[in-house]
Structure formats: structure tokens, C-alpha cells
Structure 1
Amino acid sequence: MGLSRISLENFRNHAATTLGDTAHFNLLVGENGAGKTNLLEALSLLGPGRGLRRANLAELPLKDTPGGAPLPFAIGASLTEAGTVSARIGTYTDAGQPGRRLVRVNGTNASAVSLAEWLAMSWLTPSMDSLFTDSAGTRRRFMDRMALAIAPDHARRVNQLEVALRERGKLLEHNGDPRWMDAIEAQAADHGASVARTRAELVLRLMDELSALPPEPFARPSLTYRPGGPLDEIALRAELARARPRDRAAGRALIGPQRDEMEVEMASTRQPAASCSTGEQKAMLIAITLAHGVLAAAGRPSVLLLDEVAAHLDPVRRTELFRRLREGRAQVWMTGTELAPFDAIRNEAAIWRVGAGRAERI
């Protein structure tokens, strides 16, 4: 289950690229700057959100000429299940409204959030190596992306929570009508409690999957969800009302899911992940990604994007990674500058040589 008949038009450095005859393992090989990660980014935009680079929409289109206007871009793919096409999904921009990302499913207009109902998407990129040392907000976004595997409407809930909190902040600043404040806080509590409960469930289910994985060669992490407020809707609404004076002084809400945290430790030593070595952090991140892949592959086509992962693993960890990926249901896309690290799966993979915005099957 995964993607086939993939097409890109005017995306990053790809003017017109197609990827057909896909497999369980799919390898994109080429020099640095050839456009391999651009292809992964395009695939990541077939899910909700801003993709694996979190880029602004204006950064994505191919430029018509140096310094010229960006062209509308389009990304499309077929979803396959047991070798049969189940749907055609795509995302694109239009020349008439270049600042808006549009989505179509089976030829019908749809929302970006709805893409999670059709396809489960996970990824691991070099920029994520700082996950454990970065801000709590980075880990919240990480949780929210993973949560789509168990609750496809989670992105919508997160967006609605953010809207409600912004409106509440404006009302606090301008001493707005208390009755309107009550209504806005009721919305924030409704969406906030849903977001918090989904995050809590995600961490519990990830821990179940992690406990089933062997502790070696990837260090097993221990995850703990630390809520920023009550998980119960009524209790959260009461806390928001009680915190109005403090939040007005602070200029922001100091309680609620926007303050959530996911704490990570190495299970064997109880050492915080932020204090572990770079190699240990990488191993724990891979373990979380593999555990999430199991959750994501339940019931929908699932895709796992791994950017420059194999080259940075020793032979033992690389062999184990391929073994676990082979046993999983998710379709896998990997990038590398050379084929040597992928020798163990070369005969079972679809391989493309990427260069100068082109992808040639080899």
C-alpha cells in the first residue's frame, strides 16, 4: 500500500518529473543539490501541513526565469492498495491565487486536512536530529504530525484551537464582552481537550510499540506526555476562565495544550535524550519513527520518507533498519548520494538517478 504514478510540475527544481513503477522500497540517488529531498518534500505535501521542510508556499514553485515570477506547481499521485488504485490525490497552486494551496481527491476539491483520511505520512530528515534539544513547540509539532496516524481530524482540531486562543487573546487585550469570552473559551476547551487526549493516546500507543521492539541496535526511548492543562473539557474551560487576569497580563494563555511537552529519556539509563550522545539521539529518533510507522500503516496507505538515513548508520544498524522496514506495511522512500549503502535491498527496490531536476529509472 502506497503511492504510484507520481507526477511533479514546476516544483522546486523539477519542471516535469514522473515516478512510475514504484515498489515497497524506493531509492532516490544523486549528488547533493540534485533534487532528491525536493522529491521527498513533494511527497510529504500529499499529507496535511507544510511538508517536511515547513516551507512557505512562495518557496515551492519553480521560477520561470532567474528573478522571474514563480509558476503554479502541481503534485499528484495514485494511492494503491494490494496493487489496485484506490484514489488519485493531488495538491497544487493556481496562477489566479498563488498564495493558496489547493487540493483535489478523485477530481473533486478537498481540504488539505482531509488528506490524512486517505494517506498516512511519516518522515525522518537530518533537520530533525535536534528534536530533543529544540523547543517544546518543536516536539508538539512532532506529536501532532504523528497523531494523524490515529486521528485524521487532529490537524483540524489543532488549527481550531489556535484560532480560538488567538480570538481569546484579542478579547483579553481589549476587555471584550464576557459572554463572548465564555463562548470562545468553550470552543478552546472543546478543541483543546480533544488535542490533549489525542496526544496522550499517541504517546501511550507509541510506548506499546516501542516496548515490543528489541532494545538493540537502536536505543529504546521512553516517552512521557506532560499536559499543559486539564485533559477534561469542563476542567479546561474552568481553568481558562480562572486564568483570565494572569493571561491578560502575560499577553498569552499560560495553561492548555499549547503548553504541552513530550519528554524523552533513554529507557536503559533514564538519561534525558537531550543529554545523550548524538549517536544515541539518532538511534532513539529512528526507533520512534519505526514505532510510529507501525501505527501509521493500520488501515490506510502509508508512506515513510527517510532522507539521508542509511549513510549515517553503521552496517549493523543499517541491516536491522532494512529488516524492520521490509517487515512493515509502509511504502519506503530513501535518499542517498550513492547506491553502496543500499546494497542489501538493491534487488528489491525501485531506483531513480536524480540530477538537475530530473529523475531517471535505473
Structure 2
Amino acid sequence: MPQTADDATAPRPAPAVRATSLRLADFRNYDSVAIGFERAFVAFFGENGAGKTNLIEALSLLSPGRGLRRATYGDMIRQGGSGGFHLRAAISSVGNPTEIVTQVRPDPGGILSRTVKIDETPARTGDELLEIARVLWLTPAMDGLFTGPAGDRRRFLDRMVLAVDPGHGRRAADFERAMRSRNKLLSDNRLDDSWLSGLEAQMAELGVAMALARADFIRMMAEMIARGAADSPFPAARLALSSGYDDLDLSGPALDVEDAVRGRLRAARYVDRSAGRTREGAHRADLQVIHAAKEMPAALASTGEQKALLIGLVLAHARLTAAVSGLSPILLLDEIAAHLDPGRRAALFDLVETLGVQTFMTGTDASLFDALGDRAQMLRVSAGRVEPA
């Protein structure tokens, strides 16, 4: 339905999930910083190296995993600091105030470990964070996604699946653990049938569940992309999935598919031992992205088209995440405006606003966000300091 003038000027409700404050100690280049967030759009601007991306990296740690850089904990700790870091964030999640505290400290043996507390209660797993917020991001490091290795696309896909299916991360971790154990037995020439059969049964069950979850996600994304295609200034992508199971038909009953995968793993033991790896499985999946209007693989598109396709995918994923989870995601867009012309930049901001999400952005110059007007909270970042513009 077209937006009316009254719709355009009416204040939009606050996102259902939003960060209201962030405190950091000894994180990256920040000795200590406390920031309150007042708008649905928050723009950090400043010179390269000032610490803008560090701030949204900290916000990305409000989700499971190692954040948008996938850095080691040691890399996140401020040099010359306490030897660890501390992050405290206040979140309003569907009207419920919640405090998340995560910190990294060395144990007595000097090994860094991370703890997470939600309202002062230790979280048993990082997946509990997904009950409070879903955090999505787009960074310049992802610009080579379509031309890079399959592993990068697989991680991108699994991160998207995790936002709509919180159990996916645990399945993937358990699959990797079982596969490593199988590979180790094979490499050590320990062909104990009972051990290998048990591990292969786990890999079959978990791997098929992962493949089916990915396929279901691709279907839902296709529907969401189709719904928003007419109103988006970014090209629509068509997604396809290579499951990692070669020619195996995954459409039958799950138990029958698992039986088939178990049989294939058993038959491949000697070949896998010679190869030094498991050659077939969910760990070999790949995401294929097509520029729909041109029927062209994204890898063959221009750099600008690839960026536009990626933006369109992330925005469609944000809509899908909100629709499936009931939680409006927190969106982190690193250096998003630098490579867009003013018209497309303004269109992006308007489109993001319709999503009803809280969005954090970075850029070197405040003028990159002029099209936002007074919709954005502008924060100047300089050498580990953050202050209102």
C-alpha cells in the first residue's frame, strides 16, 4: 500500500527490541566508555581508526559467537589494560528491560574465557542471547562473499539461519565435534566399527537436520524477497543451495535420508581416511546467489551490483527475522553509506526505517547521514572517545 503524507510525518513506534545503553571497559581501543542510545538510527562517525567499528563489534557480541569480526578474545582486549574486557548493555526487548553482561578474563592458567550473564544470572549457553535480541550485520569484509571461498558463504548462510532457528548453531557445533572425532579415528587407523558407527549416526542425524533447516530458510527467504522486490531500490537475489550431499535426494522422510547418509559415511571410511577428511556432508554446503533480473551469478556481477545484492539480502533477512521470531532485529551496518550515491543512500535509510528496527551505522563523515535529518542520533568518535555531534 502506498505511503500517504500523513503516514510519512507520523512518528514511528520504537523498535520492539533496542539497545538503550552500552558500557565498555578495556575493549579494543576503549579504556572506559558509556553511551546512551536514544533513536532508532544511531550513526557513529569519525576518522579511520577512531574506533567506530569497535563499537558495533561490541554490540555484535550481544549475539552468540565471536562477533562481526570473528576475532579472538585476545584481539578484543585493550593493550595495556587489565588483561580482559567487560561489556554491559541495557536492552529493551518487547517492553521488558534486560541487562546483558559479558566479560573475558584469564583463568589461573592464563587461558581466556568468556562469561555471559543475563540479569545477573549466568547463561548456560550463548544461545540464550537469542531469546532477548537478534543481531544482524553487514561489514566491508563481506563484500567479497560471492567470489570468495564456499566456507565464507556457508558461515553467512548459517548465521542467517541461526537468527530464525536458534537451534541451528547447536546442531552445527555438535556436527563439527562428531566429524572431528570421526576424522581423528580414521587418521589414527582406529577402525573400530562401534565407535565409528555411533559417530556416523550423530553426523547423519545432525547433518540432515542442518541441510533441511538451510533449505527451509532458503524457501522462506525467497518468499520474503519476492514480497519486497517491488518497493526495493536494490536488486532481488535468487538463492539456491548446494546441500553438501552431492546427488542425495533430501525430500524424502528424514529417517530414510539419515539411513542413506549413514550408509554413505560407512562406505566412504577408507576413501575419507586416505583423503584425511570427510568428503561429503553438511560441512560442504554452499550458497548460490543469482542476480534475478539478469539471471546472472552474483560472482559475475559488478562490484557495485554485488554490494547492492548483499544489502538487499540483509534487509530481506531482517524482515524475515522479525516475522519469524517476533523480535525486531538490531541491525549493524559498517561503512554502509560510503559506496552508495546520495539517491540510493537516502532510499536505503527510508527502507530501513520501514523495517522498524534499531540500526547502528558507521561512516567517516557526518555528511554521509544527511538524508536522515533528525531521525538519527549522531555520535562523534575520536581516539577512544564518543560524544554527541
TM band (smaller chain): over 0.9
Choose the corresponding residue for 1:270, options 289, 292, 295: 295
- Residue of structure 1 equivalent to 2:169: 155
Kept after mapping to 1: 8 A contact 2:346/2:372: no
Give the drift of 1:301: 4.7
For the pair 1:238 / 2:251, whether they are aligned, the reply is: no
Give the drift of 1:265: 1.1
One-letter identity of the residue aligned with 2:291: M
Distance in 1 (CA, whole Å) between partners of 2:351 and 2:267 is 49
- Residue of structure 1 equivalent to 2:388: 361
Deviations 1:122-178 (A, max 9, x none): 101111000000000000000111111211121111111100000011111222310
Kept after mapping to 2: 8 A contact 1:217/1:316: no
TM-score, normalised relative to structure 2: 0.88
Report 1:328-347 matches (<5 A).
328-347=355-374
For the pair 1:247 / 2:272, whether they are aligned, the reply is: yes
- Residue of structure 1 equivalent to 2:42: 26
Kept after mapping to 2: 8 A contact 1:78/1:85: no
Distance in 1 (CA, whole Å) between partners of 2:29 and 2:373 is 27
Give the drift of 1:22: 2.9
Choose the corresponding residue for 2:84, options 72, 84, 99: 72
Deviations 1:300-330 (A, max 9, x none): 2521100011121112211221111101132
Kept after mapping to 2: 8 A contact 1:41/1:52: yes
Kept after mapping to 2: 8 A contact 1:77/1:88: yes
Moved over 6 A (4+): none
Distance in 2 (CA, whole Å) between partners of 1:124 and 1:271 is 23
Distance in 1 (CA, whole Å) between partners of 2:166 and 2:38 is 25
- Residue of structure 1 equivalent to 2:207: 192
Kept after mapping to 1: 8 A contact 2:234/2:308: yes
Q: Secondary structure at the match of 1:312?
A: coil
Kept after mapping to 1: 8 A contact 2:290/2:297: yes
Deviations 1:37-61 (A, max 9, x none): 0001111111111111111111001
Give the drift of 1:23: 1.8
Distance in 2 (CA, whole Å) between partners of 1:168 and 1:209 is 39
TM-score, normalised relative to structure 1: 0.94
One-letter identity of the residue aligned with 1:43: L
For the pair 1:9 / 2:20, whether they are aligned, the reply is: no
Kept after mapping to 2: 8 A contact 1:294/1:329: no
Kept after mapping to 2: 8 A contact 1:185/1:240: yes
Give the total of aligned pairs: 357
Give the drift of 1:296: 2.1
Kept after mapping to 2: 8 A contact 1:45/1:51: yes
Kept after mapping to 1: 8 A contact 2:19/2:37: no
Give the drift of 1:98: 4.8
One-letter identity of the residue aligned with 1:236: V
Q: Secondary structure at the match of 1:311?
A: coil
Identity of aligned residues (%): 42
- Residue of structure 2 equivalent to 1:178: 193
One-letter identity of the residue aligned with 2:134: A
Kept after mapping to 2: 8 A contact 1:27/1:334: yes
Choose the corresponding residue for 1:315, options 326, 342, 348: 342
Deviations 1:203-239 (A, max 9, x none): 1111111111236531111110111125433322222
Distance in 2 (CA, whole Å) between partners of 1:188 and 1:242 is 14
Q: Secondary structure at the match of 2:92?
A: strand
Unaligned segments of structure 1, at least 5 residues = none
One-letter identity of the residue aligned with 1:75: L
Stretch of structure 1 that moved more, 198-207 or 235-244: 235-244
Unaligned segments of structure 2, at least 5 residues = 1-16, 251-256
One-letter identity of the residue aligned with 1:80: S
- Residue of structure 2 equivalent to 1:283: 308
Distance in 1 (CA, whole Å) between partners of 2:308 and 2:93 is 31
Report 1:96-115 matches (<5 A).
96=107, 98-110=111-123, 111-115=125-129
